[in-house]
Structure 1
């Protein structure tokens, strides 16, 4: 349970850091690239195993790590486009509702239990995510850009599902640090290519503050993945329960922090969503 709690705290802190980056107008893309390499270094330093490039590329999970590296940075860009074209609320709901994908995968692929109480808890969790994410004023969804939130939904769900599958099938207990680090390294390399292309065309200017923001973000980002992987290895919890509790708690805690520290306004729907979120977490945990 401690791993799950730490994963929730770290993941929520990521949203807080992104909010602060925007508030102080720090270049987010540059901070994200620095974040990936910081997360990679953190993973290398956290590993108790001897690390070599030859050993990494011969690991059974290397192709999965490459796939996840591309997904990490690709889905982030999709999220940004969705927020810009369809509105922040649409992007938030699409990414968080994707929790249903790893839940269904865990139930069918690993024969995880599906009791009436657990089913009610999962359905209430999805409803809670929607209510908590919806703001008082939401933008209209453009039909021609409807493919963006759909792609974000399936992309976010694919990331969680792939992480679960690779962790279960190929990653050892001692291999989590280097597996996580490899994902971030690949995402960072892709980010460097993107930044280089923008620099060549003169579309980007270096922001030294992004280094400091990226380092903090990278450390937190690494441990959000690391703690989630450790939580998934605990036998007393099924992955469907872990993903439900993790995603709902992140939405709930992020909403509360936004209210307390960033003076965000909550509607009656938001408060109702928080209440349902708490109830759904209790149901899934008891189940």
Structure 2
């Protein structure tokens, strides 16, 4: 469970850093380019991929291609969704992507259920729903999304992409010797994708974005690496990793909001923390 805890801490750190940098008018796409450049180096040093085993048949090029596009694409889609649909509805789509991940755990990874896992997942979903509707205007805001086709399209894309990343990282964790090569090449492709976009946009590069991007690279790589380690450690319980990660992000994100951004908790937000804590306890006992 410790890998999930530290991965969630890094995930929340990524969100806090992005929110702070956005308020400081730092170009997020520049940050992403620097972060993936550093992630390539960290991945090579930490996992030591053996590129001598690259081949047209054995290397999972399809995973590399999809991950290389959806990892940076997720940030871009998230930004567009925030613009078109707003923070509340984007948060709903992002958090509830865990439903697709949990379905994949049983349909594709053949996980066996037990009572504690079911209880933990149910409590976690209750926590997410409490968080989703923790403000009086959230339900109305969610319904109003149907009035705007572009907003609904962005929300659906966020929902699918975040679940797809979860599922692909789980699949990558079981590739054995090909795991490190796949992850490193995915980071390389993500860097090429973002860098090419910035060049075509004729971006004015800044030192502030570079420093922020390198810091983002450290925490984002740690988030992904620890998340994959959690899947390797709990290879027979992907639902525990999928649900545990999302529940912990809710719990730690609420704490970060209280400490760093002076946000207030209402009754439903407090209930979300209680449900999330109980869910983590159940999932930890289920391992």
User: So what's the TM-score if we normalise by structure 2?
Assistant: 0.89
Q: 1:118 is paired with a residue of what secondary structure?
A: helix
> Residue 2 and residue 84 in structure 1: after superposition, are their counterparts in 2 closer, same or farther (change >3 A)?
same
Please, which runs of 5 or more residues in structure 2 have no aligned partner?
A: none
RMSD: 2.2
1:153, 1:165 → 2: CA distance?
19
- In structure 1, the partner of 2:190 is 187
What does residue range 162-177 of structure 1 map to in structure 2 within 5 Å? 162-168=168-174, 171-172=175-176, 175-177=178-180
- In structure 2, the partner of 1:197 is 200
- In structure 2, the partner of 1:87 is 86
TM-aligned CA deviation for residue 62 of structure 1: 2.8
The number of equivalent residue pairs is: 279
Q: Does the aligned pair in 2 maintain the 1:132–1:255 contact within 8 Å?
A: no
What does residue range 47-126 of structure 1 map to in structure 2 within 5 Å? 47-51=47-51, 55=54, 59-126=58-125
User: Post-superposition, which runs of at least 4 consecutive aligned residues in structure 1 deviate over 6 A?
Assistant: none
> Residue 56 and residue 270 in structure 1: after superposition, are their counterparts in 2 closer, same or farther (change >3 A)?
farther
What does residue range 40-51 of structure 1 map to in structure 2 within 5 Å? 40-51=40-51
1:283, 1:114 → 2: CA distance?
13
TM-aligned CA deviation for residue 49 of structure 1: 4.5
Q: Does the aligned pair in 2 maintain the 1:102–1:161 contact within 8 Å?
A: yes
1:69, 1:76 → 2: CA distance?
12
TM-aligned CA deviation for residue 126 of structure 1: 1.9
CA deviation string 1:223-267 (max 9, x = no partner): 111111111111476110111111110121011111111112222
TM-aligned CA deviation for residue 269 of structure 1: 1.4
TM-aligned CA deviation for residue 177 of structure 1: 3.9
Q: Does the aligned pair in 2 maintain the 1:31–1:211 contact within 8 Å?
A: yes
Q: In the alignment, is residue 7 of structure 1 matched against residue 10 of structure 2?
A: no
Q: In the alignment, is residue 150 of structure 1 matched against residue 156 of structure 2?
A: yes
- In structure 2, the partner of 1:242 is 241
1:101, 1:42 → 2: CA distance?
30
